[in-house]
Amino acid sequence: MARKGARKALKREYAPKIWPIHRKEATWSIKAIPGPHPTHRCLPLALILRDILKLGEYAREVKKIIVRGMVKIDGRVVKDPRFPVGIMDVISIPEIDSIYRIFPSRKGLILHPIDKKEENIKLCRIESKKTLKGGRIQLNLHDGRNIIIPPSEEEKDLYRTLDVLKITLPDQDISEVIKLSEKAYAMVIGGKNMGVHGRILSIERKGDKRAKSIVTIENDEGERFQTILSYTFVLGSEKPEISVPEAPSVV
């Protein structure tokens, strides 16, 4: 009988490079289900608890923790061990009083410990937008969220693709719009300098596609480097709106 549907298993040697796991200590790994983040930009929840936080030696142990509702993602209880967790997602485990935010780094995705005052804050990048019936604007964010803005001439041009929204969790109310512009503080989420953050010095348009524009960034040590606009994630207009991990050196 022919196999139906996608495979539920994933070999470690074929796991995305951003997964901070040992490739040869075992054959199989945990495969993320389709969700708010693509496979190459996420970590399965059970893998985070087992391989990174070391809350269990085996998958079945951390699955019990998850299905009992002891883990929250962005303020909401998640009970699927294979739920995909990606950049800027907030993981909270009240039982051990631990809160983390997912950040990119040169070695892949990492967990950055944060204070409780940041637990209800999240930055979401606008990937696209469209106008709905009645003039309402739908903002499609990097983590799969869709936020609908009431029709307003004043707000019509306020939201632009690749700008970042500062929202509250879990009700996702918009508290601030952070514009992608020169002098803004940003982090690189792709390429060889993934995880490096600093101030945007210039944005140079290249070709017809805005996302391919060249961005020059200077980090806190004064080192300058370039990346493309689609790899640029704004963290604040002048300084980061959230705490960030220590950045690696520029390549």
Q: What does residue 236 show for φ and ψ, rounded to 5 degrees?
A: 180, 160
Q: 83 pLDDT exceeds 90?
A: yes
Number of H helices and E strands in the chain, helices first, is: 2, 19
Give the burial class of 50: count Cβ atoms within 10 A of its Cβ; 0-12 exposed, 13-18 middle, 19 or more buried.
buried
Counting every residue, how long is the chain? 251
- Which domains does the chain possess? 9-118 (3.10.290.10), 121-178 (2.40.50.740), 185-236 (2.30.30.30)
Q: 4 pLDDT exceeds 80?
A: no
Q: Using pLDDT thresholds of 50, 70 and 90, give the confidence band for residue 155.
A: low
Instruction: Give SS3 for 117.
Output: helix
**pLDDT of 2:** 55
Q: Using pLDDT thresholds of 50, 70 and 90, give the confidence band for residue 176.
A: very high
Residue type, 195: G
Q: Using pLDDT thresholds of 50, 70 and 90, give the confidence band for residue 126.
A: very high
pTM for the full predicted model: 0.90
- Mind giving me the DSSP string for 38-93? -GGGEEEHHHIIIIIS-S-SSHHHHHHHHHTT--EETTEE---TT-EEETT-EEEE
Q: What is the pLDDT of residues 19-47, one digit of tens each?
A: 887 777 788 888 899 999 988 889 999 99
Q: What is the pLDDT of residues 160-171, one digit of tens each?
A: 999 999 999 999
- On whether the CB atoms of residues 186 and 233 are closer than 8 A, the answer is yes
